[in-house]
Every structure is written in C-alpha cells, then in structure tokens.
Amino acid sequence: MKSVTDTDQGQVLIVEDDVATQRRLARLLAEQAGDDAGMAIAGDIDAAKAQCAERLPDLALVDIGLPDGCGIELIAWLHASHPQVVTVVVSTWGDEETVLAALQAGATGYLLKERDDVELSLALQSIRRGGAPIDPFVAKRILALLPAPPHAKNAAKPRKATEPSGAGLSDRELDILSLVACGHSNRQIAELTALSRLTIESYTKNIYRKLAVNSRTAAVFEAKARRLLR
C-alpha cells in the first residue's frame, strides 16, 4: 500500500460534516506533521470531489454518514477513478454490513470516532507509514463472520517451534498474528509482548507482505485459510 511518509507529508482530505470532528482530526494530523501538514476539508461528497479536482490527496479520511449520501459511494469513486489515493473510514458506524461494504469498495482502514485522541493518533501515524489499521472492535465483529477452515478428521498436531511456518512466517510473526486475530491493537500487542509499537508495526508489515494482503482482517482471513491460525 502507498505510504504517506514523514519525509513527504502528502495532502490529506478530511471528508466530514461535523465541525467538531473536522477540527479534531485536523488537530491530530497537525500535531504529527506540524506546519507542513497539507489538509483540505470537505463537508459532503460533492465538495470532496471538487477538492480532488483541484488537488488530488494522498490520503482521504471519510465519514460514512454524509449530508448528500453515503461515504462508501465516495470511497468507491476514489478507488475506481484515483486508486492511488489511500482511503480510510473514520466513523461512528461499526456494524458488519457497513464495514464490509466500505472495505469492498476500496477502503484500506476503518477507525471509530469513539476512540480517544491517543488511539486515533496512533492509527493515523500507522496510516502515514503505510499501515492499514482497523479498529479492534470492528475487526472482532468481522472476524466473527469468517467461516472456520475445514478440518481433517484427524486434527493436525500443534506446530512445534522448530517446524517451518507457512508463508515463511516466523514464530514471532505467528504470535503477533494470533494477537491480531484476537482483536488487539498494535499498542496492546506491544504491551503484551514487551516490544515497542514501532517493532510491532514492522512485524505487521512483514506479515502483510508475506501473506500478500493489506489489512488486519485480510491477514487473519488468509492465515486461517492456510491453517496458520487455529
């Protein structure tokens, strides 16, 4: 996935009709990028498209409920017309149907507004480094919908530490992937493993690369399909 790196802050488009949320997201982004932050704000879908015509953003933070339609429509339009734009949902809507529709439309991340500033700020930092964060609560609900992989009559023995893991995943990467499957955020995984958050993000990127996916949900789904997780 394209990253919005710290050396090239990139243009961010906030698509949100609530003024307080607009200011909150703008503040969190400005705290990360400083005076170099390039931001535009649109209160509805039409305004967002007009902003894109004027200057195409690198990242679009899109709300679901907008005055002139559903944010998923904008995500689908961006994905079809400007696939280089990274789109991430920031919404109060967290039901399975909406989340799946947004991801299928092309969103690479899904965040909930109810999270505190620290959690949202960490997620935004991950996005700017090329991550694809999905709120742990959302991930849990989506993973619950995934069918369990078919098992042979005689269940396979647990993988030993010396056995090679599928897809070239290391034992540590499998441990982290298991915690991801439980719905833990990167910050929580860092606390549980006594590793730094940046180290967890690095492991997560390697997992994405090895499994050829670009989101937490997709990584868990693929791992279960390959029987790497039980």
Per-residue pLDDT, averaged over 173-199, amounts to: 84
How far is residue 12's CA from residue 32's CA, in Å, rounded to a whole number? 12
Q: What percent of the chain has pLDDT over 90?
A: 34
CA–CA separation, 18 and 166 (whole Å): 46
Helix axes 216-225, 136-143, angle to 10 degrees: 30
> Number of helices (H) and strands (E), helices first, in the chain?
10, 7
Confidence band of 202 (pLDDT split at 50, 70, 90): confident
**Confidence class of residue 190 from pLDDT cuts 50, 70 and 90?**
confident
Domain boundaries, the chain: 11-142, 153-225
Distances from the Cα of 182 to the Cαs of 6, 44, 133, in angstroms? 30, 35, 14
Radius of gyration of the chain (CA): 18
According to DSSP, residue 226 is labeled T
* pLDDT, average across residues 49-77: 95
Measured CA to CA, the distance from residue 114 to residue 96 in angstroms comes to 17
**Residue type present at position 105:** A
Cβ atoms of 130 and 119 closer than 8 Å: no
Task: Specify the pLDDT at position 199.
Answer: 86
Average pLDDT on 196-211 reads 86
What CATH superfamily classification does 11-142 receive? Response regulator (3.40.50.2300)
Q: Is the pLDDT of residue 42 over 90?
A: yes
- Which whole number is the average pLDDT over 20-29? 94
Q: pLDDT band at residue 45, thresholds of 50, 70 and 90?
A: very high
Under the banding of pLDDT at 50, 70 and 90, the label for residue 162 is very low
153-225 under CATH 1.20.1050.10, yes or no: no
Work out the average pLDDT over 4-29: 82
pLDDT at 180 over 80: yes
| Total count of residues recorded for the chain | 230
Given pLDDT bands bounded at 50, 70 and 90, which one contains residue 61? very high
pLDDT score at 34: 67
pTM over 0.85: no
What distances in angstroms separate CA 141 from CA 78, 97, 126, 176, 224, one per listed residue?
26, 10, 22, 19, 16
Residue 54: CB atoms within 10 Å: 8
How far the first Cα of the chain sits from its last, in Å, is 28
pLDDT on residue 14: 97
- Residue ranges in the chain assigned as alpha helix (H): 19-33, 45-54, 71-81, 96-105, 117-128, 136-143, 171-181, 186-193, 197-211, 216-225
**Helix, strand, or coil (residue 111):** strand
Is the pLDDT at 166 greater than 80? The verdict is no
Mean pLDDT calculated for residue range 213-219: 80
Q: Among 7-16, 79-88, 153-162, which range has the highest average pLDDT?
A: 79-88
